[in-house]
Amino acid sequence: MDPKGKTVNLGSCQWCHYSYGYDKYGDILTTMNQYGLDFKNNGRNTDALKAIEAIDSDKDGFPNKQEIVAIRFPGDAQDDPTKVPAPFRVFTREQIEQMPQLKQFMVMNAHKSTDFYAEYTGVSMEYLLKKKAGLLPSATGIKVFAPDGWAQFHPLEADPDPVLYPVFGAYPLASFYYDDQADVAKNAEGWVDYSAPSCIGLEDGDVIHNERALRMLLAFRRDGEYLTPGVLTPDNKLDGEGPFRVVPPQKIPGPPDQRSTAANQDVVWPFNYDADHNAGFSTRSATIIKVEPLPEGTTDIDTIEAGWDFVDEGKVVVYGAINPLSTQQFPKHLADDN
């Protein structure tokens, strides 16, 4: 539950930061499930694994070792060896490129890093899910995963929460914002990269016109070039954004504001906590798209091999509340173009 009493979905990274904090003010034990606690309490080593293999940590009726052998989660009571993997489909970049393409020129507004304008090319997430994955009527949203553990939830329909970007529907038109003070090419203390070719000819206040309405994209190109594949840096941070990036436009169009960490906020567009920082909700190097909720009797797929290998191979997997039949057998109402 968030402070407003609303249920929200958090990935493993966000959950730890939410519970433990960025500055370690919380209790690390609150980030662990019961299996993690049992492992810690028994020494947190190979002997601990042996000591707890006969325990049923999540109280689902199956001992930890049996769940691990079955590739199930011994700390999740909703996951056990009786369940089968949820329906899934793997899409290659070549397959994605054969789908109807959208090009969208837009701002990517970040909290701490450099803001930038870019033209992304890809397929709308709505089209991919409905037309190619066979979205079930029971589906309510998606959770997108990156190989470094980052995860981001998106509802299917519009939501008033400013940090929840919907999969379905069009996003509003936006204007182009330019000022020499913000331009990193003209000011050493600037915070906006205007180097994208599509910026040429635009002036501050111009309405940005795209060929079609703005939508959430599964993008694979930026400014005409394939996205740089993601890599893990020596300090354990994700660098790069490809081969796929889930890109939501701004829900509330606005200017690219100053970095939150900048000492000088006496600028044309100072940092605004309530501004739409869509870049922070745009998953880089997306490899897994989970459609929630999982169908009854199914469990999460084994995602261990769907991380960095999928980055190298240029693939993305969609699984969960999707039709298990081939796409040729989808009912027409599940395969409408968008």
Per-residue confidence at 12, pLDDT binned at 50, 70, 90? low
Per-residue confidence at 321, pLDDT binned at 50, 70, 90? very high
pLDDT band at 28, cuts 50/70/90?
Answer: confident
34-64 as b/e: b if 16+ CB within 10 A: bbeebbeeeeeeeeeeeebeebbbbebebbb
Lowest mean pLDDT among 143-152, 296-305, 320-329: 320-329
Residue 96 makes CB contacts below 8 A (sequence gap 6+) with: 122, 123, 128, 218, 220, 244, 316
Give the model's pLDDT for residue 14: 61
Is residue 57 pLDDT above 90, yes or no? yes
Residue 262 has pLDDT above 70, yes or no: yes
Instruction: Let me know if 227 is exposed, middle or buried by CB neighbors in 10 A (0-12, 13-18, 19+).
Output: buried
pLDDT at 338: 43
Residue 246: both structure tokens together: 């889930």
* CA dihedral angle for residue 118, residue 106, residue 155, residue 5, rounded to 10 degrees: 110
Q: Which residue has the higher pLDDT, 334 or 38?
A: 38
Tokens 């949203």 — which residue? 141
Q: How confident is the model at residue 236 (pLDDT cuts 50, 70, 90)?
A: confident
Q: Rounded to an integer, what distance in angstroms lies between the CA atom of residue 15 and that of residue 9? A: 9
Q: 30 or 133, which is more confident?
A: 133
100-135 pLDDT, tens digit per residue, is 999 999 999 999 999 999 999 999 999 999 999 999
The predicted pLDDT at position 61 comes to 92
CA–CA distances in Å: residue 44 to residues 35, 52, 304: 11, 11, 21
Radius of gyration of the chain (CA): 22
Confidence check: pLDDT of 63 > 70: yes
Distance between CA atoms of residues 299 and 14, nearest Å? 22
Output the pLDDT for position 10.
59
pLDDT at 337: 45
Answering whether pTM is above 0.85, one says: no
- pLDDT (tens digit per residue) in 169-217: 999 999 999 999 999 999 999 999 999 999 999 999 999 999 899 999 9
Beta-carbon contacts of residue 303 (< 8 Å; ≥ 6 apart): 145, 288
What residues form DSSP beta bridges with 217? 124, 247
- Whether cis (ω within 30° of 0) applies to the bond prior to 166 is no
Separation CA 52–CA 46 (nearest Å): 10
% of residues, the chain, pLDDT over 90: 73
Could you tell me the two tokens for 14? 């966000």
Name residues whose C-beta falls within 8 Å of residue 209's C-beta, 6 or more positions apart in sequence.
Answer: 173
Q: What percent of the chain has pLDDT above 70?
A: 88
- Structure confidence by residue, pLDDT tens digits, 75-84: 888 888 888 8
Query: Which residues have a Cβ under 8 Å from the Cβ of 329 and sit 6 or more positions away?
Result: 323
Return all residues near 221 (Cβ < 8 A) that are at least 6 apart: 120, 121, 122, 227
pLDDT of residue 180: 98
